[in-house]
Structure 1
């Protein structure tokens, strides 16, 4: 069997889980990561071949993954809407403006002030 090298970026919490697994099983973090990858692939393959089990932990994890996907799509749509609003607003503002750079600076300053105000309100400030 030939092998291929793969690089994966992990969150800190994922890395912490792999390290705890390594310590608990007396293996290196590298070996634990390989085992995690193999177990994940085996789980994917068994789910694709047979019906998913009625394991409550697996069901909960599946629900969390589905919610995460929905949140990612929502965040993506919100980012798109924000970018579109900025683009349309800038286009309207540039309609009568002569100096685009000066307008960009004013817009950036106003946006920064609005962001700081909203952040302070969200944190309970006045």
Structure 2
């Protein structure tokens, strides 16, 4: 293979990065420079096609969306359980003598009130 000689000036930061790579791969800085040039030319000559990663990104986004929906359902159940706990504890603390049905009837309004409060903009 016929070689052509070039004089190349690189910024100090690039030289440090190439030196570090050369040390990691046990090659000379000159060999690392050749590898960098070859990799750069190959990357520029064959750029990735636009949209090549779109399917992968859509799949990941769908996975995240599914996870968020699951977390929302869990948080909704936690809020309902907390409201029920509050109603039962409040009834016990006030010694109101309420029946199970009376306390259960208070849970849904308490839950709905908390849902409305969570939808309001923070002040």
Tell me if TM exceeds 0.5.
no
Q: Which has the larger radius of gyration?
A: 2
Q: Pick the TM interval, shorter chain.
A: 0.3 to 0.5
TM-score (norm 1): 0.38
* TM-score where L is the length of structure 2: 0.39
